């Protein structure tokens, strides 16, 4: 829709007001700038694509001069992507087998009586020591020393 066509629907005094005329000029200038910028952006996109191709060619030339192997050209995959959401029954059974091998943990608490306690001393609680031992099963032994 053209700005001038839209103004024809308005009364004459609005069409000729200086504020409206200056706004029209500003809008026309901005549309002209936008068109110029889009052309410039299109030119830059084309230039970037040619430069990227040039860079790839130069990289190939460098690798040829260094006598390194060429970059492989990968072809697009023609197979359908596999569905990763569905679980495989073989994978589920292997997960269950792994759970069988997990050792059980046992936990013991041993209280050790203090030796050679002076007369008149008071019990102030236990001092905790944790000992982890690995045999066939994992066990945690907690010693409470008085």
Q: What is the pLDDT of residue 5?
A: 75
Question: Which pTM was predicted?
Answer: 0.38
Q: What is the pLDDT of residue 82?
A: 74
Question: Which secondary-structure segment (H or E) carries 41?
Answer: helix 18-65
Q: What is the pLDDT of residue 35?
A: 94
Q: What is the pLDDT of residue 38?
A: 94
Q: What is the pLDDT of residue 124?
A: 83
Residues of the chain with pLDDT under 70: 1, 86-103, 133-138, 146
Q: What is the pLDDT of residue 41?
A: 95
Report the side by side order of strands in the sheet with 105-112.
105-112, 138-145, 127-134
Alpha carbon of 20 to those of 4, 29, 53: distances in Å?
A: 11, 14, 50
In a 13 Å sphere around the CA of 31, the CA atoms on its Cβ side amount to 9
């Amino acid at each position: 829709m053209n700005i001038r066509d839209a103004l024809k629907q308005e009364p004459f005094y609005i069409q000729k007001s200086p504020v409206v005329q200056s706004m029209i000029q500003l809008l026309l200038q901005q549309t002209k700038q936008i068109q110029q910028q889009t052309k410039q952006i299109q030119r830059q996109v084309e230039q970037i694509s040619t430069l990227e191709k040039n860079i790839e060619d130069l990289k190939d030339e460098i690798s040829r001069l260094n006598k390194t192997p060429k970059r492989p050209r990968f072809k697009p995959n023609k197979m359908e992507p596999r569905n990763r959401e569905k679980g495989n029954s073989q994978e589920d059974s292997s997960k269950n087998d792994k759970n069988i091998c997990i050792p059980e943990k046992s936990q013991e608490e041993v209280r050790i009586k203090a030796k050679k306690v002076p007369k008149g001393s008071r019990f102030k609680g236990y001092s905790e020591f944790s000992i982890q031992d690995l045999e066939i099963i994992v066990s945690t032994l907690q010693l409470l020393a008085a």
